[in-house]
Structure 1
Amino acid sequence: MHIEILVEDASGKKLLESLLPKLFGKQGEPHTWRVHGYKGIGRVPKNLNSSGDPAKRILLDQLPKLLRGYGKTPGIDAVVVVLDSDRRNCVDFLAELKALVAGCSPVPNTLFRIAIEEMEAWYFGDQQALMAAYPKAKIDVLQRYQQDSVCGTWEQLADAIYPGGSAAIKKAGWPLPGQVKYEWAEKIGPLLDLERNISPSFGKLRDGLRRLITEAA
């Protein structure tokens, strides 16, 4: 089967590119996929017929148009949308996303997966991989983290592994936050173990993707 995967930023794209071969096998044997990274999450537009501004590449702004297009495109067997919950209510957010898909004609086979609160939670879920990538990480900071909690996840990770912590990153300002998150995806992502990871939202991503290809078999 062929799967189109949408994610809100470059670091998320990098992370998924390292995870997907572990789930699907080698590209083209037999499954194929493409990962599309956007430049932010945005919000679902009130007017679902809106096409948004394609030049800005904001994921939720573009999503209604994208899903309508995928539903009409032959050869696309599934669409996977991976998002951070940030501080949204996950139940309400997921209901809003599913309503968006239901409004498409035809309806594309779509799987939504939401990281709680941010994808950096998935690195905390496999601290063995995290420590292998960053052996000097501050153990006390890692131990304070409550898995898949809304607590300023990326900031806690930065406090554990970045010189000067999150304060130094915020002081430097953009583009450093994006660069640091990309580096984490690059270094930790390939080391993540699919079965060892204790993040519930990571488990839902893993199991949902496995079901997609199992059902297609």
Structure 2
Amino acid sequence: MNPIIVFLLEEPSAKEMLNGLLPRLIPSHIATQCIAFQGKQDLERNIVRKMRGWKAPNTLFVVMRDQDSGDCQVIKKNLQGLCFQGNRPDALVRIACKELESWYLADLQAVEKGLGIDGLARNQNKAKFRNPDHLGSPSKELSALTNGEYQKIGGSRRIGPHLNPENQRSNSFTVFVSGLKALVDRFDQ
């Protein structure tokens, strides 16, 4: 059976973004499945059950959620504990600091292309967009920058295919991409 990577996600917007990004990160011989939940509490309530119930062999899991206002290390430790309870201690846990939208703000060229708004990329050198993981509310910043054009699900669907996996302005995005590459390498050994 072909290997599979299952993504357990906080929200549908993450699934939409990954649908556009993953084909450029994961070789075609590795299947992917994205399961979106309705918020972080729903995700956390269901991790153990989903992992224990997953019977397909040759499967690795990725759990991804936003940091929001929480402590990143506490959130990650809690999620790793849930993965351990789900008999998947090898699951990759990644946190988007502060929100998924910080990944988009780190790649304004992708936002410009995806949303069809000329001139956004020229804002990339402004201080707040050089390291958007530190912004208090990246989703509000993105909405303001795009004059309300960005909407979570539709915007993620449109931006995801244009995100540059090599972009390093968001450390949490860089860590996500490198972790995913390491998972792929585990299948290819």
TM-score (norm 1): 0.75
Equivalent position SS for 1:183? helix
What residue ranges of structure 1 are gaps of 5+ in the alignment? Answer: 43-57, 166-178
Q: Deviations over 1:124-183 (max 9, x none)?
A: 1112222333225496698352420141110011010034x8xxxxxxxxxxxxx81112
Deviation at 1:101, TM superposition (A): 2.2
Does residue 31 of the first structure (1) align with residue 2 of the second (2)? no
Matched ranges for 1:21-100 at <5 A: 21-26=23-28, 30-42=29-41, 58-70=42-54, 73-100=55-82
Alignment match, 1:14? 16
Q: Work out the CA distance in 2 between the residues paired with 1:108 and 1:138.
A: 40
User: Is the CA contact 2:108–2:120 (under 8 Å) kept in the aligned structure 1?
Assistant: no
**Structure (1 or 2) with the larger CA radius of gyration:** 1
The number of residues matched between the two structures is 182
User: Is the CA contact 2:64–2:96 (under 8 Å) kept in the aligned structure 1?
Assistant: yes
Q: Which runs of 4+ in 1 moved over 4 A?
A: 136-142
User: Is the CA contact 2:106–2:124 (under 8 Å) kept in the aligned structure 1?
Assistant: no
Deviation at 1:102, TM superposition (A): 2.3
Does residue 143 of the first structure (1) align with residue 156 of the second (2)? no
Q: Work out the CA distance in 2 between the residues paired with 1:140 and 1:20.
A: 26
TM-score (norm 2): 0.86
Deviation at 1:11, TM superposition (A): 1.1
Alignment match, 1:4? 6
What residue ranges of structure 2 are gaps of 5+ in the alignment? Answer: none
Correspondence for 1:107 among 88, 108, 127:
88
Does residue 199 of the first structure (1) align with residue 170 of the second (2)? yes
